[in-house]
Structures are given as structure tokens and as C-alpha cells.
Amino acid sequence: MLLLVVIALAAGAGLASTGAAQGGAGLPAGGFDQMDVDPDDILIEVSVEPDGDAVWETQYRVQLASDDEEQAFEELSADVGANPDAYTRRFGDRMRATAGAAENATGREMNVTNVTVTAERRELPQSYGVLTYRFEWSNFAAVDGDRLVVGDAIDALFLDEASSLIVSWEDGYRLGDASPSPTETRDSAVVWQGPVDFTEGQPRVAIEPEGRSDGPILFVALGLLVAVVAAIGYRRRPWEGSAPDQPSEGPAATGGEPAADPGDTGAAESAAPPTSGTADGEGGSGGPAGGSEGDAGGEGDDGGDGDERSDSAPQIDEDLLSNEEQVLRLVEANGGRMKQKRVAEELDWTAAKTSQVVTGLRDEGDLDGFRLGRENVLSLPDYDATADNGGADDDEADDDDEE
């Protein structure tokens, strides 16, 4: 008789739909009804896995406060041990029907498998009889990238005053958000203690990896490291003198070539540094020194030396240069002095972007600037603007033409 009562209760209970439950927590009351007592409490724990599957464990607990209750539970425990399939088969069918309704509502393929049942006596610390159903629910939670959202499969669940719902997750994850506010929040779980009548869209629990917010911080740290390294590079300006036909002093310009004949006037002129005024005076306003008539007009060994410097200069992939490097390289290629407006035109940048990059370079001391009429003129720190009268006149002439 006891077995028939338990099977009937298990068959007639369960979640009626994805939202409504048939009383209590919406799960079978187990074998306790035959004792004419209700369970003292019902504990539902849903352990969510990273792939969205969940392990459900529902415990029906009754305090064994009398000899009759203890004897009745012993009989129930014996029946469960002898005929577990009789308890799990109908229970599993009802839960699979519930999962099917949730599948239709959520659009995720679901199934209930591995249904088990146990009955045991526990000291909590009082003596309790505990009937536990356990099963696996595939695709119970929605997976959004590395984030899990729990609750749409049991939307609008009802918990009576004797029921509790626990949603837990594995190590390495943390709580993102929960609605409504849980009764209790633990390190790896949230708890709702009934009575709770969840409304549409509840309960909801968002779970995310613990290190999820570290990604942006890591990228920021790497960006700062790159900026520091780049700043050191700007101060050294390793490409100085490497532009084709760009005169400059030091090993970077000569590349180990034989020194020019002191008596060779053309060689002396081609080796003069930008501060001599030759670049802007001969080559036009802000133009590259290599493109001026004065440099191009050299004959004999002069032209040969210039070609050798051009051929031996290391070629730099423009796509690998930072914004700051592009500006510095462009100003150097134009003799060490250049209008900010022309920088924007040459690099095909907006005025705002150009101003932002230039401001950073000026703050770092890698670039100087001054006003000439209505124009901003940029120059390298070692550029002598007062000595370059020809360039200044050309800049002013440009300003007059624009007006």
C-alpha cells in the first residue's frame, strides 16, 4: 500500500509548466504524505555547470519526532532501497515533460536524465528523515559567451513557506546579478527562502568568470608598457638621418662611409646639418632637403655619396610606425621644421587627431612649436628657427597666400 501511494504522488506532482507549479516548490512530495504529515522543509539545489547543464537535487525533510514517524520512515526507506525504479520512473517522466515545456519556451533543446532517489536518516542535529531526488537537466541555463543566465526554464516558480531554492555554480565563477534580491548570497551560491512568488522574468541569476574584468585591465597595462617603450624610442630617435638624402651628423648618417674630402666644397655642403638653413633656404618652405635644387645639383663624387647613403639607409615599414613616430619622421624629412596643417595633410589625418598627437610630443619634449601668423609651426628641439630666415619668409608667404 505504501508503494502505491508513493508512486501515485510522484506521478501526480511536478512542475505543471515552465512558470506555474502545482503547489509548494512544484516537485513531488515523496512518500511523506502517507504519514499524514507535510515535510518540515523542501530544499531545491540547482548546481549549474559551465556548459549550461545543471544537476538538480531536491530534498524532502521531516523531523522524526515520534516513534510512529520513525517507523513510517524506516518502511519508506526500505521500499526505496528495494524498488528505486518504481520511484524514479514516473518522477522522471513528469520532469521530462516539464523540461519539454521549458524547451518550447526557451528554444533550447533540453532533457532530463539520470534520475535517482535515496532515503536516509540524518541528524541535523535533530533526527530527520530525508527523501532525495537527483537528476541532470541539459541546457537548463542559457550560455552567453562565457556567461551563464539561469532561470528562464523555471520562470515564475512558486516557493511556499517551507521551501528554499539554491542556485550554485563551480569554482572560477562569480555572481554577476540576481533578480529578485536573494534571501542569502554565498561565495558560490544564492538562496531564496520561501514564501516567494516569482513574477514573469524571475528568478534570474547571471554567472560570469571571476577573471572576466581582468581582460580590459590587462590590455590597459600592456598599452601603458608599449607607450613607455615607444616614448624611450622617440627620445632616442633611432631613425635620425636615415631618410633618403637627409643630411645629418653622427654614425646614423654616415653609415661608416669614408669621410668627405675637406677640399670638396660640394661634399661639405651636402653634409651640413639642418640648422645651417640650407634645407629651407634652398629647398623651399618646409620641403625635404633631398628634394632641393642645391642638393640635386651636385656633380661627380657628391652625387655618388648621396646615392650610397640612400641605398644603405634602412627601410622602415610605415605601417609599423606609431602616430608619434610618423609625425617625428615627417618633420625630420622636411628639414626639421613643418607646418602642423601640412602634417595633417601629408598623413591624411583630421586636425583634431593631429593636434592630439602633436600635443603629446610637445609635452614629452620631443617636438617644439610656435605660432607664425595664423599657423602652428612644428620643429625638432635642435632646430634653429632664428637662423632659418628663408624658411620663415616662405611660411609667412604661405600665410599671406591663404588670406
Is pLDDT at 119 greater than 90 in this prediction?
yes
Q: What is the mean pLDDT of the chain?
A: 73
Mark whether 147 and 80 lie in a shared domain: yes
Mark whether 108 and 246 lie in a shared domain: no
What's the pLDDT tens digit per position in 366-377? 888 877 777 888
Q: What does the pLDDT read at residue 358?
A: 86
Last residue of one domain, picked from the residues 211, 234, 255: 211
Last residue of one domain, picked from the residues 159, 187, 211: 211
Number of separate domains in the chain: 2
* % of the chain beyond a pLDDT of 70: 59
- Alpha helices by DSSP H, 313-367: 323-333, 340-347, 351-364
Mark whether 175 and 250 lie in a shared domain: no
Q: What does the pLDDT read at residue 183?
A: 96
What's the pLDDT tens digit per position in 221-244? 455 555 555 555 555 454 444 444
* Residue matched to cell numbers 628639414: 335
In the sheet where 375-379 sits, what is the strand order? 337-339, 375-379, 368-372
CATH of the domain at 337: 1.10.10.10
CA distance 249 to 96: 83
Lowest mean pLDDT among 130-144, 185-199, 226-240, 328-342: 226-240
Mark whether 265 and 131 lie in a shared domain: no
Mark whether 169 and 228 lie in a shared domain: no
Mark whether 199 and 245 lie in a shared domain: no
- The residue range of the domain holding 190 is 2-211
Structural Rg of the chain based on CA atoms? 41
Mark whether 178 and 30 lie in a shared domain: yes
**Residues 6 or more apart whose Cβ sits within 8 Å of residue 337:** 280, 286, 331, 377, 378, 379, 380, 383, 385, 388, 391
Mark whether 132 and 194 lie in a shared domain: yes
* Residue matched to cell numbers 635620425: 240
Mark whether 194 and 251 lie in a shared domain: no
What's the pLDDT tens digit per position in 122-181? 998 889 999 999 999 999 999 999 999 999 999 999 999 999 999 999 999 999 999 999
**Residues 6 or more apart whose Cβ sits within 8 Å of residue 180:** 192, 196, 198, 202, 203
Last residue of one domain, picked from the residues 157, 189, 211: 211
Mark whether 176 and 33 lie in a shared domain: yes
The mean pLDDT of 354-373, rounded to a whole number, is 84
Is pLDDT at 273 greater than 50 in this prediction?
no
CA distance 52 to 136: 11
- Cα dihedral across residues 302, 307, 313, 317: positive or negative: positive
